A = this chain, B = another copy of it.
C-alpha cells in the first residue's frame, strides 16, 4: 500500500456529517466486493469511531478536524480495507479507551465493543506530532473473524 490513501476525507467534527462518511464507506466497501452485511457493519464501526472522537476527544466541539483515510489493502493476497482516523484531540492514556463488560445491561458504553467485534484489526495510537490520536483499522473481505461467527 502506497503512502497516499486512495480516498481521504478531511472534515470538521460536526455530528451531522458522520452520516455522509458512513454512507461513503459503505458504498466503497460494496464496490470492493464486501458483502452487504459486512459493509453495513463496517459503516457502523466507522460511525462509532467518529462519534467517539466528537464526544470524547473534542467534547462536542463541532469545528475541529477529523481526517479519514481509506485504502484497499491486500496483504498475503487477503483483500480488505484499511481505514485510518486521525484527530487533533488531547492525547489520552490508551488504556482509557476500552469497552466495558457487556453482562451489565445499561445504556452506553458499546462503541468500542462494536468497533472491536466488527473490525479485524484495531489499533489506537498517539500521533507523533504530539497532538491527536490515530485509530488504524482493517476489515478483510474474506475475513476469518466475521461478525456472523460472534
Chain A residues with CB under 8 Å of chain B are: 6-12, 14, 16-17, 19-28, 30-32
Partner of A23, one of B12, B17, B24, B32: B24
* A6→B65 CA distance, assembly (Å): 9
Contacts of A19 in B (CB 8 A): 27-28, 30-31
Copies of this chain per assembly: 2
Partner of A8, one of B9, B16, B26, B27: B9
Beta-carbon contact of B20 and A27 below 8 Å = yes
Which of A8, A21, A26, A27 lies at the interface centre, i.e. has the most chain B CB atoms within 10 A of its CB? A27
Contacts of A16 in B (CB 8 A): 31-32
Whole-angstrom distance between the Cβ of A26 and the nearest chain B Cβ: 8
> For residue A65, which residue of chain B has the nearest CB?
B4
Contacts of A14 in B (CB 8 A): 6
Contacts of A11 in B (CB 8 A): 6-8
> For residue A62, which residue of chain B has the nearest CB?
B6
Whole-angstrom distance between the Cβ of A57 and the nearest chain B Cβ: 18
Partner of A17, one of B6, B10, B17, B22: B6
With known contacts A7-B11, A9-B7, A24–B20 Cβ distance under 8 A:
yes
* A23→B7 CA distance, assembly (Å): 14
Q: A8-B9, A9-B9, A16-B32 are in contact. List 7 more A-B contacts (CB 8 A).
A: A6-B11, A7-B10, A7-B11, A17-B28, A20-B27, A23-B27, A24-B24
